[in-house]
Amino acid sequence: MKKFERLDGLVAPLDRANVDTDLIIPKQFLKSIKRTGFGVNLFDELRYLDEGQPDQDVSNRPLNTDFILNQPRYQGASVLLARRNFGCGSSREHAPWALEDFGFRAVIAPSFADIFYNNAFKNGILLIKLSEEQVDRLFAEVEASPGYCLSIDLEAQQVVTPSGEALSFDVDEFRKHCLLEGLDDIGITLQSEDAIREFEARHRAARPWLFRDVTEA
C-alpha cells in the first residue's frame, strides 16, 4: 500500500449525495480478475455518453462534457469533494481501486458508507469527514475559484484551504498509522499468530460444532 503523508491536491467537486458504488464503477467492469486498470472506467455512466464495456479502448468514446472530471479545470484532480453517504451500496473494492487508479488520494464528504470506508483506507485513500456546513462552503469555494487546491496533512489531521484556514478532521489511530506507514494489514495480524491459535483452540473446545472436521467426523 502507498504511504499517505501530505497531499497538495486539486479538488474536483461531485455535487451529489448517496454516490453508490455502482455509480463509481459499474458492474460490467467487475469481471476483471486484476486490481488495476479501473481508472478509465471510474464513474463510467456519468463520464461517457455510451455504455462502456470491459477491455474497451476508451479513447474513441463520446464524453459527457458536462461531467466534472471531463472539464479542463479539474484535470489532474487528486481530491474529490462529495456529499453525504458517499460509497453506499456494494462491497466492491473495485470502487477504491478505480478512484486510486484515476489519481484520487483523498475524498472529502460529510459521511461515508461503512464498507467503502474500510476498503478505501486499505488502498491508501484517505477519507475525510467534515461537517455539512464545511462541505457546503468548500463546494462554493471550489466552484468559484479555478485551480482550487487543498493541502492535506494527515499527521496533523488538518485540511488547509488556499486562504490558510485549517479544518481539523478525525481519523482513528490505527488507520492513520497504517496509512502513514503504508502498512499491510495481513502482516500486522500475523504478528498475533499465537493469540489467534490460542483463541481458536478455546473456541473449538467451547463450540466444536463450528468446525466442520468435527461435525463431519
Partner 1 sequence: MSGQTLYDKLWSQHLVKDRGDGTALIYIDRHLLHEVTSPQAFAGLRLAKRQPWRLDANLATPDHNVPTTVKERAEGNAGIKDPISLIQVQTLDDNCDEFGIEEFRINDLRQGIVHVVGPEQGATLPGMTVVCGDSHTATHGAFASIAHGIGTSEVEHVLATQCLLAQKMGNMQVRVEGKLGRGVTAKDVVLAIIGRIGTAGGTGYAIEFAGSAIRDLSMEGRMTVCNMAIEAGARVGLIAVDDTTINYLKGRPFAPAGELWEAAVADWRELVSDDDATFDKVVTLDAAEIEPQVSWGTSPEMVTGVSGAVPDPDAQTDDTLQRGYSRALEYMGLKPNQKITDIRLDKVFIGSCTNSRIEDLREAAEVARGKKVATSVALAMVVPGSGLVKRQAEAEGLDQIFTQAGFEWREPGCSMCLAMNADKLGAGEHCASTSNRNFEGRQGYGGRTHLVSPAMAAAAAIAGHFVDVRTLDTTTAHQEA
Which residues of the chain form contacts with partner 1 (CB under 8 A)?
Answer: 15-18, 20, 22-23, 26-28, 30-35, 45, 51, 54-55, 83-85, 88-93, 96, 111, 113-115, 118-119, 122-123, 172-174, 177, 185-186, 188-190, 192, 195-196, 199-200, 203, 207-215
C-beta of 60 vs 215, nearer to partner 1: 215
Q: Shortest Cβ distance from residue 71 to partner 1 (Å)? A: 19
* Residue with Cβ nearer partner 1 (9 or 26): 26
Least Å from the CB of residue 79 to partner 1? 20
Q: Indicate the residue among 111 and 151 with the shorter CB distance to partner 1.
A: 111
Report helix, strand or coil for 159.
strand
- In angstroms, give the least distance from the CB of 70 to partner 1: 18
Phi and psi of 10, rounded to 5°? -70, 140
Q: Is 158 helix (H, G, I), strand (E, B) or coil?
A: strand
Buried b (16+ CB within 10 A) or exposed e, 113-130: bebbbbbbbbbbbbbbbb
The DSSP symbol for 36 reads S
- We find the least distance from the C-beta atom of residue 51 to partner 1, in angstroms, to be 4
Which ranges of the chain does DSSP label H, i.e. alpha helix?
21-24, 44-47, 94-102, 114-122, 132-144, 173-181, 185-190, 193-206, 212-215
Q: Judged by CB, which is closer to partner 1: 32, or 158?
A: 32
In the complex, the smallest distance separating the C-beta of residue 21 from partner 1, rounded to whole angstroms, is: 9
Q: Which is nearer to partner 1, 3 or 31 (CB)?
A: 31
State in angstroms the smallest separation of the CB of 23 from partner 1: 6
> Which of 104, 102, 123, 107 minimizes the C-alpha distance to 58?
102
CB atoms within 10 A of CB 194: 8
Please say which residue, 3 or 27, places its beta carbon nearer to partner 1. 27
